[in-house]
Amino acid sequence: MSDVASLLKDRLIHQLAFIYADVSLDDPLPTIAERLMASMGLADTEGDDCNITAPCPHTNLWSEQDVILITYGDSIYQQAAHGSDDSVPAPLQTLHGFLKRYCSHTINHVHILPFFPYSSDDGFSVIDYSTVNEALGTWDDIEAISEDFGLMVDLVINHCSARSAWFMQFVEQKSPGKDFFFTAELTDDISEVVRPRTSPLLRETTTATGVKEVWCTFSHDQVDFDFRNPEVLIAFANIIRLYLDKGTRIFRLDAIAFLWKIPGTSCINLPQTHEVVRLLRTLIEHADPNALIITETNIPNRENLTYFGNANEAHAIYNFSLPPLLVNTLLSGSSQYLKNWLMSMPPAQNGTFYFNFIASHDGIGLRPAEGLLSDTEINDLVNCILKFGGRVGWRTGDNGKQKPYELNIALIDALKGTLKGEDQWQIERFICAHAIMFGLEGVPGIYIHSLIGTTNDEERVVHTGQNRSINRHRWIDTALIKELDDVHSLHHQVLTQITQLLHIRKAQRAFHPNATQFTLQLRNELFGYWRQSIDRKQSIFCISNITDEPQTLHLSDINLIGTEQWTDLISQNQIDAEELEHTLQPYQTLWLTNQFDAD
């Protein structure tokens, strides 16, 4: 065994020793480490080295060129003509065609939400991790997309479907699944367990050896794994290897915060969970030094930040506080809370980045706004979203009380007005939200239904009975193309303006995910920050009017250097630094730079 392999094995043993310190194991830690390496293709059966690459720490494997599109495999599909027996392309093939036609010059990564056979939760209750849902396509379709776009894939690691083969084995008490799932006793103290749902935590399940209480963080169809059993960890190492072989570049660790459970605790963000993330990173980056981990932790901001570790856990974390704070800013017309939060955010170390988003397949989470927005602000936000046709998801909080967990609404409908009601500024407000997000430190992620301005799907909510379906519309490709080709349609206008912003963003070195950022001290009707490229050759002042009235920007507030030429990248208008003030129209954003040709 080479020095690199030996060091990797020693590191894995050290990590395993922490994870399983309080667990009685059948196999010694060196054996478990060797099996993990073999599962990942890091050693063959004789223990020889096999494609092991020592990672380079604190390396930025991303740039201002990176943009991630979030989509389901069947967000766009083709429909056979009425009365026709002709087959139609698989949805993944239709998606690939859409990406090449509309996104190839602005978006270079695509997050395809779980595309595996599933039983509920639109894919997040996985039946089989090793196959592609035949209703979507095949592994060939996934690999074809990965050849044109960086592929981001969900590792649904906390739980799987109650209809999976592993859980059927658990019921029958047969290997390997018989010890794969976390069970508790009815006498266990679960009073402190943090829940994202209101359903009972434990599911009574009759097995071949008696009744067991199975732990279900999310729903009774989503049964939680027991990572105290190293066989579960090894099984997921095999899954990760498969996904790498199929072209995966980015792994999204779904619901990772709930992974390790200890009754009598909160069962969230436990030290063992963090160490599992570090171990998974160790395995992944030694197998592919260009592969990345993003943790999906829909939790309060301070807790979320801990998943960076010391640049040795997640490469990126979802910036979960951004969506509720930015929506609140645009609905209230005050940037106070967004500004205070941004000032408190530490810059991401080299080797890490923030994954910025303002809409996704899920709702707008409210837990990440806890401690950042007051109860009054949250209540006003909830009531406004309800008036705009949205829904509210709930969770069980302290003392069994229900608290709002997330807002379910299409983002463009969430921004159809303000706290005062609907108005004529919907598109301008929506584009303003994206202009703010695209300029922030980090890599932007854009939901496909934001890219094309999809509105609330009330019919789908009625059909599924699920609030989240309101923002999970499925487009027939001919209908979508017709809308996108119509210059007067809302969808055309949204796609055109967002595409323009992305084109501009990708050409600016000051928008590198790790470029310097400072929050500007402007009055609450404006929101702004300053970015400077890593080589310090380009500066951009990003300033938005977040109200429905014209606002005056006093140029002295941002200290433009009068000897330099400043240009608004978005409008291409030049700004005279010697002027005393400049007027921003409702929801207008300026990207002021002293070097607009950053190439």
Distance CA 197, CA 124 (A): 15
Distance CA 4, CA 287 (A): 12
Catalytic one of 66, 74, 226, 254: 254
Distance CA 217, CA 197 (A): 8
Question: Considering only CA atoms, which of 523, 551, 549 is closest in space to residue 339?
Answer: 523
- Concerning whether 254 is annotated as a catalytic residue, the answer is yes
Buried residues in 153-168 as b, exposed as e (16+ CB within 10 A): bbbbbbbbbbbbebbe
Buried residues in 500-523 as b, exposed as e (16+ CB within 10 A): ebbebbbebbbbbbbbebebbebe
Q: Are 564 and 533 in contact (CB under 8 A)?
A: no
Axis-axis angle for helices 29-39, 230-245 (nearest 10): 20
And the tokens for 121? Answer: 């939760």
What's the Cα-to-Cα distance from 475 to each of 111, 199, 359, 395, 410, rounded to whole Å? 18, 32, 18, 31, 14
The residue written with tokens 């799987």 in the block is 160
Task: Please give the helix or strand (H or E) that residue 356 lies within, else none.
Answer: strand 353-356
What burial class does residue 113 get, using C-beta atoms within 10 Å of its C-beta: 0-12 exposed, 13-18 middle, 19+ buried? Answer: buried
Residue ranges of alpha helices (H) inside 288-374 are: 301-305, 322-332, 336-344
Q: Could you tell me the end-to-end alpha-carbon distance of the chain, in angstroms, rounded to an integer?
A: 46
CA torsion, ordered 354, 239, 109, 512, to nearest 10 deg = 30
Q: List own/partner pairs for 373-377 with CB under 8 A and 24 or more apart.
A: 373/324, 373/325, 373/328, 373/337, 377/328, 377/332, 377/337
What burial class does residue 246 get, using C-beta atoms within 10 Å of its C-beta: 0-12 exposed, 13-18 middle, 19+ buried? Answer: middle
And the tokens for 202? Answer: 């434990």
Q: Which residues are catalytically annotated?
A: 254
